[in-house]
Structure 1
Amino acid sequence: MSPRPYGQSRRIRRLLRLAAATAVCGALLGASVLPAQAADRNPPPDRAAFLRQELRELVERPDGPPGVIAVLRDGDRTEVYRAGVADVDGGRPPGATDHMRIASVAKAFSGAVALSLVDRGRLSLDATIGEVLPGQPYRWHKVTLRQLLNHTSGLPDYSASPGFLDIVSADPRHHFDSRHLLDFVADEDLAFRPGSRYQYSNSDNIAVALMAEATTGRRYETLLRELVYRPLGLTATSLPQGYRLPEPYLHGYQIDPQAGPVDVSEAVSASGAWAAGGIVSTPQDLTAFIRGYVGGALVSDRTRRQQFRFIPGALSQPPGPGRTSAGLAVYRYATRCGTVYGHTGNTPGYTQLAAATADGRRSLTFSLTTQTSLTDNPGLLERVREVQEDFVCALLRG
Structure 2
Amino acid sequence: MPLPRRLRPRPSLGVLLAAVCLTGAVSGPADAGSGSGSADRDHDRALRNQLEELVHSPGGPPGVIAVLRREGESRIVRAGVADLDSGRPIRADDHTRIASTAKAFSGAVALRLVDRRALSLDDTIGRRLPSLPRQWRSVTLRQLLNHTSGLPDYTQSPEFLEILTADPRHHFDSRRLLDYVADEPLLFRPGSKYQYSNSDNIAVALMAEAATGRPYEQLLRDLVYRPLGLRDTSLPQGYEMPEPYMHGYDVVPPNPPEDVSEALSASGVWASGGIISTPADLTRFIRGYAGGALISKATLREQRRWIDGASEPAGPGANKAGAAIFRYSTRCGVVLGHTGNFPGYTQLIAATPDGRRSLTFTLTTQVNKTNKPELLERLRAVEESFVCALLKN
Structures share a fold, TM > 0.5? yes
**Partner of residue 16, structure 1:** none
From 335, 351, 354, the equivalent of 1:356 is 351
Q: Does 1:323 align with 2:318?
A: yes
Q: Match of 2:321, as an amino acid?
A: A
Maintained 8 Å contact 1:66/1:88: yes
CA positional deviation for 1:45: 7.7
**Partner of residue 29, structure 1:** none
**Partner of residue 329, structure 2:** 334
Q: Distance in 2 between matches of 1:259 and 1:147?
A: 42
Maintained 8 Å contact 2:99/2:274: yes
In structure 2, list runs of 5 or more residues that go unmatched: 1-5, 11-38
Maintained 8 Å contact 1:97/1:283: yes
**Partner of residue 202, structure 1:** 198
Q: Distance in 2 between matches of 1:113 and 1:119?
A: 10
**Partner of residue 261, structure 1:** 257
* 1:3-45 superposed Cα distances (whole Å, 9 cap, x missing partner): xx96227xxxxxxxxxxxxxxxxxxxxxxxxxxxxxxxxx998
CA positional deviation for 1:258: 3.2
Q: Does 1:8 align with 2:4?
A: no
Identity %: 68
Mapping for residues 305-316 of structure 1, pairs under 5 Å: 305-312=301-308, 314-316=309-311
From 338, 363, 372, the equivalent of 1:368 is 363
Q: Does 1:232 align with 2:228?
A: yes
1:98 partner SS: coil
CA positional deviation for 1:57: 1.2
Maintained 8 Å contact 1:44/1:50: no
**Partner of residue 124, structure 2:** 128
**Partner of residue 386, structure 2:** 391
Mapping for residues 172-251 of structure 1, pairs under 5 Å: 172-251=168-247
2:49 partner SS: helix
Moved more, 181-190 or 250-259: 250-259
In structure 1, list runs of 5 or more residues that go unmatched: 10-42
Q: Distance in 1 between matches of 2:323 and 2:8?
A: 40
Q: Match of 2:113, as an amino acid?
A: L
* 1:197-230 superposed Cα distances (whole Å, 9 cap, x missing partner): 0000000000000000000000000000000000
Q: Distance in 2 between matches of 1:162 and 1:94?
A: 36
Relative to the length of structure 2, the TM-score reads: 0.90
**Partner of residue 296, structure 2:** 300
Q: Match of 1:71, as an amino acid?
A: V
Q: Match of 2:9, as an amino acid?
A: Q
**Partner of residue 270, structure 1:** 266
Relative to the length of structure 1, the TM-score reads: 0.89
**Partner of residue 57, structure 1:** 53
1:333 partner SS: strand
Task: Give the 4+ runs in structure 1 shifted more than 4 A.
Answer: none
Maintained 8 Å contact 1:172/1:269: yes
From 67, 72, 80, the equivalent of 1:71 is 67
2:328 partner SS: strand
Maintained 8 Å contact 1:59/1:67: yes
Q: Distance in 2 between matches of 1:192 and 1:259?
A: 41
2:241 partner SS: coil
**Partner of residue 283, structure 2:** 287
Maintained 8 Å contact 2:248/2:364: yes
**Partner of residue 3, structure 2:** none
Maintained 8 Å contact 2:7/2:168: no
Q: Distance in 2 between matches of 1:394 and 1:257?
A: 32
Return the structure number with greater relative CO, CA threshold 8 A, min gap 6. Answer: 1
1:260 partner SS: coil
**Partner of residue 374, structure 2:** 379
Q: Distance in 2 between matches of 1:302 and 1:220?
A: 24
1:168 partner SS: helix
Residue correspondences, number: 360
Q: Match of 1:7, as an amino acid?
A: R
Q: Match of 1:185, as an amino acid?
A: V
Give the RMSD, CA atoms, in angstroms: 1.3
Q: Does 1:252 align with 2:248?
A: yes
Q: Distance in 1 between matches of 2:42 and 2:288?
A: 30
Q: Distance in 1 between matches of 2:105 and 2:162?
A: 28
